[in-house]
């Protein structure tokens, strides 16, 4: 699998805290996903890994949209 993170232990803010108050809409969230998937495809990241990235992003959706 394509390695997404280079840090072994993340020490930053959690997703909900980082996104709080940004009022990101579902439309903007989907546009962000499209951008991420396009960058991965442009860099020849395999389809299975792109699918994994999409699943991870969707698992965080509730901590990003309109929080």
Looking at residue 5, its pLDDT comes to 56
Looking at residue 29, its pLDDT comes to 95
CA separation, residue 45 to residues 1, 35, 53, 60 (Å): 9, 14, 11, 21
pTM above 0.75, yes or no: no
pLDDT along the chain (67 residues), means of 10: 60 84 93 96 95 93 90
Looking at residue 45, its pLDDT comes to 95
Cα separation of the two ends of the chain: 31
Q: Domain limits of the chain?
A: 24-63
């Amino acid at each position: 699998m394509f390695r997404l993170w280079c840090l072994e232990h993340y020490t930053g803010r959690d997703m909900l805290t980082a996104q709080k108050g940004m009022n990101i809409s579902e439309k903007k969230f989907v546009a962000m996903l499209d951008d991420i998937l396009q960058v991965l495809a442009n860099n020849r990241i395999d389809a299975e890994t792109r699918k994994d990235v999409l699943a991870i992003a969707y698992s965080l959706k509730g901590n990003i949209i309109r929080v």
